[in-house]
Amino acid sequence: LSNELGSALDLQQLALQAQRFEKIEGLIQLLGQQTVDANNQAAAQRAAIMCGIPKGSAVEREELSALGLKLDRIAEDVSTVIDQNARQQDSLDELKAGVQQLLANEAAAQERFMYDPYDSDDSDQEASQLGEGSFGSTHTMKNKDDGRLYAVKLMKIKKAGVPVEKLREEAARLSMLNHPNIVRYFTAFRYKKGDPWTAHVCKAGNLITAQNPQSADACAAAVVEALA
């Protein structure tokens, strides 16, 4: 192999040679227009010229075939990147749709949940509290529509230090999760200047108890009862 072609057959060197192209888009267009296969002589010849190998120089057919194989792999990589970008765009569109749905349902959701046990003025939240963390506290609340209990995490937006838009995006991501080992998430909404997240209440004991093999049956029974 000549020095130029030897460098061109190396993918890393081929990337460096791309700096000599007038426009890198030219190679991408080449890959998009050509029907590449294991013996793509036409594409290999054009790529060789673009890499600085003059047309009509002494370059054997086998060497061009090898360069064609390199082009095949580059074309596959380009297609993979395009597919990945398309999937990322689909995920982004789904996330935006989830945020819009949260905004549309926010007004109705504010009046749907009440503390359980219930206090008429909602001043005493201690009886319903399940736990408290750095971002807020979690309470048992009853849905007025279906009468079931839910775990509602109340977060004060200023205390969380996260913009409302970011919280809504995170809630939309949680809504995409669907796995038997993940507590089911339902919705999020603004509630008296807070930002609650709603999930199922599963009264199955604490984590240490759940990790004890002897209590596995009892925990499973409690989870089934809570979801029934």
Residue ranges at the known binding site for ATP: 153
Residue 72 near residue 141, CB atoms below 8 Å: no
214 Rama class: left (phi>0) / alpha (psi -120 to 50) / beta: alpha
Q: What is the DSSP annotation of 216-228?
A: HHHHHHHHHHHH-
**Structure tokens of 137?**
């506290």
Q: Dihedral through CA 171, CA 173, CA 174, CA 179, nearest 10?
A: 170
- As separate numbers, helices (DSSP H) first and strands (DSSP E) second, the chain gives 9, 6
Binding residues: 153
**Structure tokens of 190?**
């603004």
Nearest to 45 by CA among 35, 57, 33: 57
- The C-alpha atoms of residue 159 and residue 162 are separated, in whole angstroms, by 8
Q: What is the DSSP annotation of 92-144?
A: HHHHHHHHHHHHHHHHHHHTTEEESS--TTS---GGGEEEE-SSEEEEEEEET
What is the sign of the dihedral through the CA atoms of 204, 216, 146 and 132? positive
